[in-house]
Amino acid sequence: MAGLHELRDRVAEAFAAYRRCREREEAEYGEEYLEVTEMEDEGPAPDPCARVFAALLDAVRAYEGAGGKRAELDLGAYREEVERALG
């Protein structure tokens, strides 16, 4: 079983991948980015970052499952989004 430090590193890697995905999306859509993300939320348009976000959630769950505290994780500007998804 992975140690807490390793699991925290996995969260950091997953978070970095998700942040890069969102930054690429924002750069691609520019001023239309907010409109595009609202359309993704309404469906059925695919969210290109959905798999990356799911991996981030899995990493956070594994960290918590090993006894880590979500509040200790650096989730930056996406903390609220992660909190909503995990409940």
The set of residues, in sequence order, having a beta carbon less than 8 Å from that of 70 and lying 6+ positions away, is 60, 63, 64, 82, 83, 86
Report the distance separating Cα 30 and Cα 28, nearest Å. Answer: 6
Q: ∠ at Cα 46 (18, 20), nearest 5°?
A: 20
pLDDT, greater one: 19 or 33: 19
pLDDT for 10: 97
Per-residue model confidence as pLDDT tens digits over 26-47 = 887 777 666 666 665 665 556 7
Q: Structurally, how many domains does the chain consist of?
A: 1
Residues spanned by the domain of 26: 4-86
**Which two structure tokens, joined as six digits, stand for 54?**
């799911």
